Amino acid sequence: MHQFNIRGRDSPEHEMSLIMAAPLPLVFLLMIHGVCSQWGDWGVSYSPSHICALNDSTVIMRCSYTYPTGHQIKKVFWTKTLVIDHGEPPDLSNDPEYSQRLQYLGDKQQNCTVRLSHVTLKDSHMYYFRFITDKPDGKWTGDPGVTITVTGDFDLQVESPERVTEGDSVSLTCKSSCALTDRATFIWYRNSQPLTERRDRNNELLLQSVRREDSGRYSCAVDGHTHVSPAVQLNVMYPPVKPVISISPSGVIVEGDSVTLNCISDSNPPAEIRWFKGGTIVGSGRIFSISKISSDDSGEYKCKSINEHGEKYSDAWSDVSRL
């Protein structure tokens, strides 16, 4: 007769003993098959398995667990001590350093999520969830656990589209070298001035129907921390506004004078300017000059401002017609 005891690191903490008279190799194979099938029903899953948190912030460790049918959960708790062979690891809810900051959000079925508030650098550790069922030695610890890294120093960076068109909805994201928790409060700046748009528990700044006035250099920070991200330029594209013609010199124009027409039109990107006399193109560029005006120059002059987003004509200028 042969007796075999099998124990696994990640298995329920009980031994399986078989006493059989069959040949040794066959018994061993049967035992391994049975153990793997049963152990496959036990498990703990953490999401994510690594958390980077700011000092004095709140961390939520999301967790779920499974166990074989026929078992009932008697006790659940979190610990930062992994005990495999003997004894019970300490329950963090009984630890004075954690008892007031730790809140179990899960249940005694599948959810084992927990919240840890006001984290400090000392809380940087690996944490494990453990549950105990009503069956003899029906216990399980989720190993490896979830690792928390608490930091007081981190890098921030704004992610933004380089070019957007007026009227679009634009989302800017404040990215961190540390995966900040849901309770981090972000502050946004445009051209170094705080924005009234502030997103709590969200690292995105949403600009609905963006305007040309929204162009500028954007940066972000986390409330309670002095570090501010480098600024990123948001460039809002828009079609030309209606051009306006200015004349130099102003006043009465007489034959033989020289006059300069200036076409003023705001647009982004900068517009191409074309000049028309009647329906004929007579020049291009922001400035159009007429030297030694004569009666041949009489007519109506307009400028047209054009970019990839649209075009606009100015009102006609026709003082030359008085000559």
User: How many domains does the structure of the chain reveal?
Assistant: 4
Domain harbouring 262, CATH code: 2.60.40.10
Q: Do 48 and 35 share a structural domain?
A: no
Compute CA distances 161 → 105, 213, 234, 248, 258, whole Å.
38, 16, 7, 41, 47
Choosing from 237, 270, 297, the residue where a domain stops is 237
Which pLDDT does position 84 carry in this prediction? 62
- Residue 198's pLDDT band, with cuts at 50, 70 and 90, is low
Looking at the structure, do residues 26 and 120 belong to the same domain, yes or no? no
Q: How confident is the model at residue 208 (pLDDT cuts 50, 70, 90)?
A: confident
Which of 118, 151, 184 is a domain's end point? Answer: 151
Query: Which tens digits make up the pLDDT trace of 248-279?
Result: 887 777 788 888 999 999 999 999 999 999 88
Do 144 and 50 lie in a common domain? yes
Global pTM reads 0.56
The 10s digit of each residue's pLDDT in 277-305 is 988 999 999 999 988 888 888 889 999 99
- CA dihedral for 10, 11, 16, 22, sign (positive or negative): negative
Identify whether the C-beta of residue 45 lies closer than 8 Å to the C-beta of residue 10.
Answer: no
Bin 216: left if φ > 0, else alpha if -120 < ψ < 50, else beta. left
Residue 48 and residue 139 in one domain = yes
CA distance 204 to 117: 23
Same domain, 49 and 140: yes
Question: Domain range for residue 284?
Answer: 244-322
76 and 168: one domain? no
Confidence check: pLDDT of 91 > 80? yes
- My answer on whether 268 and 318 are in the same domain is yes
Residue 115 and residue 178 share a domain: no
Closest CA to 92 of 57, 127, 131, 142: 127
Checking if the pLDDT of 179 tops 60, the result is yes
- Collapsing DSSP to helix, strand or coil, 213 comes out as helix
Flag whether pLDDT at 132 surpasses 70.
yes
**Is 124 in the same domain as 111?**
yes
CA atoms of 4 and 52, how far apart (whole Å): 45
- 102/188 same-domain check: no
Which residue, 112, 134, 151, sits at the end of a domain? Answer: 151
Same domain, 178 and 229: yes
Same domain, 211 and 269: no
